[in-house]
Chains A and B, each alone.
Chain A
Amino acid sequence: MPVITYREALRAAMSEEIERDPNVVLMGEEVAQFNGAYKISEGMLAKYGPKRIVDTPISEAGFIGMGVGAAMLGLRPVMELMFFSFYSVAFDQIFNNAANIRYMSGGLINCPIVIRGPANGGTNVGATHSHTPESIAAYHPGIKVVVPSNAYDAKGLMKSAIRDNDPVMFLENTILYGEACEVPDGEYLVPLGKASVMRAGTDISIIGHGRSIQLALKAADLLKEKHNINAEVVDLRSIRPLDVETILNSVKKTSRCLYVEESKPFCSVGAMVACLISDQAFDYLDAPVKRLTSIDAPAIYSPPLEKLQLPSVERIYQAALDTLK
């Protein structure tokens, strides 16, 4: 099976959907002539032309809102935010318009838009460019939120997101863009809302999403190697819809849960998952659900300190041991 990067997987997904459906367009800052700020769309302008691959000005409220309007009339715009952090500039368009238009029209209008881009820290770009807004996005009924942790999922989830008739926030990760794994040639879909058990285990469930999953897998190796602890690693893949069943099944099996994510702790996805577990699997727990997040402050610039602020293999390893105490 071919081994391709997360970046190539996203490009393949968007290219296949552009070829399949004439209503799909990719728009964003520097996506066309510049070949993408992170080269996700490299070569796509040359291949598909300026009608399908569209450079926008730096004008997030304007072009995201324009995409919402175009989606209302039946296009399927894939809107790239150079950094997902810039969603805040388009907040009204995303959360008042895209999220609510179906509801406020009594179901008369759909908004099949995908808003995508990297949502992560760890690249020393400071607080303005390092937001992880998955819980903020998922807070809003009407919105779907996807956070792929690897190339295989990135492709299959992106294709599903583009075909989805609801607005989807697709949160990528600059650090993962160059990470590769086996990805089959051609068509496959990963449905939104289906978690993936990345590693089976019996002693503790390490659940999370996004790049934290890659770290959790390494931490699980360490736990096995040093303590013979069999950790199960569950990748949610999408936040809303959420695979509650897989979460509960894992926790019922292991009786302990550590949630790992790059977000800040207050009202995070992990907080929601802990609440669901407490409501629906309390009797199975041998310890409180523990959460590991970024340290609760704006993203620090200082490169060595930012490493410490974010979840790391070491922090996950230690948090798992604490949960098992």
Chain B
Amino acid sequence: MFGSLTLNKGTFASNYYFNLKALPVTKKPSSSKKPEVTNLGYDARQAPINIKLGQDEKIALYRDMVRIRRFEERCLRSYQQSKIGGFLHLYIGQESIAVGCASVMGKDDHIITAYRDHGHALAVGMGMNEMMAENYGKITGCSKGKGGSMHYFDPSRNFWGGHGIVGGQIPLGTGIAYALKYKGLKGACMAFMGDGSVNQGAVHESYNLAALWSLPVVFIIENNGYSMGTSQERSSAGPSLAQRAEGYGMNWAIIEDGHDVLAVRDKVGQALKLAHDKSLPSVLEIRTYRYRGHSVADPDTTYRDKAEIEAYKSTKDPLNVFQLALLAEQTLTDEIIQKIDESARAEAETSAQFADASPYPSIEDIKKDVYWEIDNPADRKSVGALFFD
């Protein structure tokens, strides 16, 4: 269990480990030896948060992962047809993380992430239509065509983006946690980042503030092994990314089974509980893998072997692994699988048609949503010019 594990004792009772030392931490820094991780009989299905899952809930988890994948495959086609401009960062291979995390959110839990945001958006309940339309730059998009693929938002679903600068969203997530605590709400913010974020100063400053003020934030590093085209070994010092939390006296864990949606639910659920019950932050490093390049513009030929991708796909594909597990326990049948797949493909196709048929913003729209006051003229208190063209 979460509380019984300590760090660097050699062998761990499961494939994850947690340092739950109470603040302030007086422990000596850990050795730089890479912690040994073993998988001694851990079964995420038996975790309390998962054991109570009903069949429908399990199918919903599976369906959400399929929907993300089919949506993104459709996005890729649209990009190749030049319907989508700029960047397109695909989440394919990482679906279990967004779905697992969103599935354990409570009413006052929030999510903020970086630019690889399609999975999180769908997982919190945003619709494919508004997302695809955003990719197409249409006025019907979730940000009215002003943000694009990297900048989805839906505050009504506690989803705060969608941020383009590596690590730049982490102080914001910390601030959301600050506001939750300030307002006395029993909620937390899950602040997602990639493995490339961990070397940004803003991330470390956020760690310090969160630990210093005991903010209810769960920093989630989706470690897919590559910050763009640079591997972890070539970019990040130290034995693990999450372990840097020790410097701030924060709880941390590595989740090796990032491809297992149930494992993600279990560990993230525990970290959320820690934030809810004790207002303590933590850092989770979730090991995962992306099948596509950094963005669609990345030909993915310079920094890794195709064999590496295939090896992961064949053993740890989040959809396949969960599908097999659900087939084995007869929650899923071939018929349901096919239905879910067809439905997701149709939904994605419909979203592309919706986006295609939607109008672009007008030239007048360029200057809307810049200033609250301009968009709410009846309540404007300032005078004078705010635009200068």
Q: Which residues of A contact B (CB under 8 A)?
A: 25, 51, 56-57, 59, 61-75, 92-93, 96-97, 101-110, 141-142, 144, 160, 163-166, 189, 191-195, 238, 240-245, 272, 276
| Inter-chain contact A244/B208, CB cutoff 8 Å | no
B155 within 8 A of A: yes
| A20 CB to nearest chain B CB (Å) | 15
**Given contacts A65-B171, A65-B172, A241-B384, A105 and B371 within 8 Å (CB-CB):** no
Is the CB of B303 closer than 8 A to any CB of chain A? no
Residues of B within 8 A of A238 (CB): 382, 384
Give A57 to B154 CA distance when docked, in angstroms.
Answer: 31
What chain B residues lie within 8 Å of A65 (beta carbons)? Answer: 168, 170-172, 174-175, 202, 205-206
- Decide: A109 and B179 in contact? CB cutoff 8 A: no
The smallest C-beta distance from A243 to any residue of chain B, in angstroms, reads 4
- With a cutoff of 8 Å between Cβ atoms, the chain A residues found around residue B112 in the complex are 69
List, sorted by A's number, 18 A–B pairs whose CB atoms are closer than 8 Å.
Answer: A65-B170, A65-B171, A69-B175, A70-B175, A72-B175, A97-B163, A102-B369, A102-B371, A102-B372, A107-B144, A109-B155, A141-B387, A144-B382, A193-B382, A193-B386, A238-B384, A241-B385, A243-B385
| B136 interface residue (CB < 8 Å to A) | no
Main SS class of interface, A: mixed
Question: B208-235, CB under 8 A of A: which get 1 and which 0?
Answer: 1100100000000000000000000000
Neighbour of A96 across the interface among B155, B168, B376, B388, CB < 8 A: B168
Contacting pair B383 A193 (CB below 8 A): yes
A166 touches B147 (CB 8 A): no
**B174 touching A109, Cβ below 8 Å:** no
Residues of A within 8 A of B175 (CB): 65-73
Taking the closest CB of chain B, its distance from the CB of A311, in whole angstroms, is: 24
User: Which residue of the partner chain, among A59, A75, A191, contacts B381 with CB atoms under 8 Å?
Assistant: A191
C-alpha spacing A311/B382, complex, angstroms: 29
B161 at interface, CB cutoff 8 A: yes
Minimum C-beta distance from A76 to chain B (A): 11
Within 8 A of A (CB), among B170-190: 170-180, 182-183
Given A103-B369, A104-B153, verify A69-B179 contact (CB < 8 Å). Answer: yes
Q: Are B384 and A244 in touch, CB under 8 angstroms?
A: yes
* Given A72-B160, A102-B369, A165-B372: A108 in contact with B143 (beta carbons within 8 A): yes
Tell me the complex Cα distance, A93–B369, Å. 19
- Residues 137-159 (chain B) with a chain A CB within 8 angstroms: 141-147, 151, 153-155
Is residue B368 contacting chain A, with contact meaning CB distance below 8 A?
A: yes
Report yes or no: B385 in contact with A193, Cβ–Cβ below 8 A: yes
Could you tell me the distance in whole angstroms from the C-beta of B284 to the nearest C-beta in chain A?
19
Give the chain A neighbours of B376 by CB distance below 8 A: 165
Q: How many residues of B contact A (CB 8 A)?
A: 57
- A62, B370: Cβ atoms closer than 8 Å: no
Residue in A63, A70, A160, A191 whose Cβ sees the most chain B Cβ within 10 Å: A70
| Complex partner residue of A93 from B141, B171, B368, CB under 8 angstroms | B171
Question: Of all chain A residues, which has the CB nearest B177?
Answer: A69
Is B40 an interface position by the 8 A CB rule? no
Q: Mark B361-379, 1 if CB is under 8 A from A, else 0.
A: 0000000111111011000
Closest to B365 in A: A106
Contact between A192 and B165, CB atoms less than 8 A apart: no
B127 is an interface residue with CB less than 8 A from chain A: no
Measured between beta carbons, the chain A residues less than 8 angstroms from B163 are 97
Known: A72-B175, A102-B369. 19 other contacts (CB 8 A): A57-B208, A57-B212, A61-B205, A65-B206, A66-B206, A70-B179, A73-B176, A93-B172, A96-B165, A103-B370, A104-B153, A104-B162, A106-B144, A107-B375, A160-B381, A160-B382, A163-B381, A241-B383, A272-B388
Residue of A nearest to B189 (CB): A69
How far is A245 from B369 in the complex, measured between Cα atoms in Å?
Answer: 24
**Other-chain contact of A73, B169, B179, B205 (Cβ < 8 Å):** B179
Asked if B35 lies at the interface with its beta carbon under 8 angstroms from chain A, I say no
Asked if B384 and A192 sit within 8 Å, CB to CB, the answer is yes
Q: A71-B175, A75-B182, A242-B385 are in contact. Are A62 and B368 (CB under 8 A)?
A: no
> A70 to B384, Cβ gap below 8 A?
no
- Chain B residues with CB under 8 Å of A61's CB are 171, 201-202, 205
Complex Cα distance, B388 from A28, in Å, reads 33
How far is the CB of A148 from the nearest CB of chain B, in Å?
Answer: 14
- Could you say which of B165, B169, B208, B369 contacts A106, with CB atoms under 8 Å apart? B369
Known interface pairs A59-B208, A66-B174; A108-B385 also in contact (CB < 8 Å): no
Inter-chain contact A59/B153, CB cutoff 8 Å: no
* Shortest distance from the beta carbon of A73 to any chain B beta carbon, whole Å: 4
Q: Which residue of A lies closest to B206 (CB)?
A: A62
Q: Is there an interface contact between A241 and B382, defined as CB atoms closer than 8 Å?
A: yes
**CB nearest to B375 among chain A residues:** A107
Task: Name, among A65, A69, A193, A244, the residue most crowded by chain B CB atoms within 10 Å (CB to CB).
Answer: A69
> Is B293 an interface residue when CB atoms closer than 8 A count as contact?
no
Q: Provide the residues of chain A in CB contact with B209, threshold 8 Å.
A: 56-57, 59, 62-63, 66
Q: Are B146 and A69 in contact (CB under 8 A)?
A: no
Q: How far is the CA of A241 from the CA of B370 in the complex (A)?
A: 13
The answer to whether B382 and A108 touch across the interface, beta carbons within 8 angstroms, is no
The answer to whether B383 touches A106, judged by C-beta atoms less than 8 angstroms apart, is: no
Question: In whole angstroms, how far apart are the Cα atoms of A276 and B385 in the complex?
Answer: 11
Asked if residues B384 and A97 are in contact (CB atoms below 8 Å), the reply is no
Q: Measured between alpha carbons, how far is A14 from B212 in the docked complex, in Å?
A: 25
Residue of B nearest to A163 (CB): B381
A195 CA to B382 CA, complexed, in Å: 11
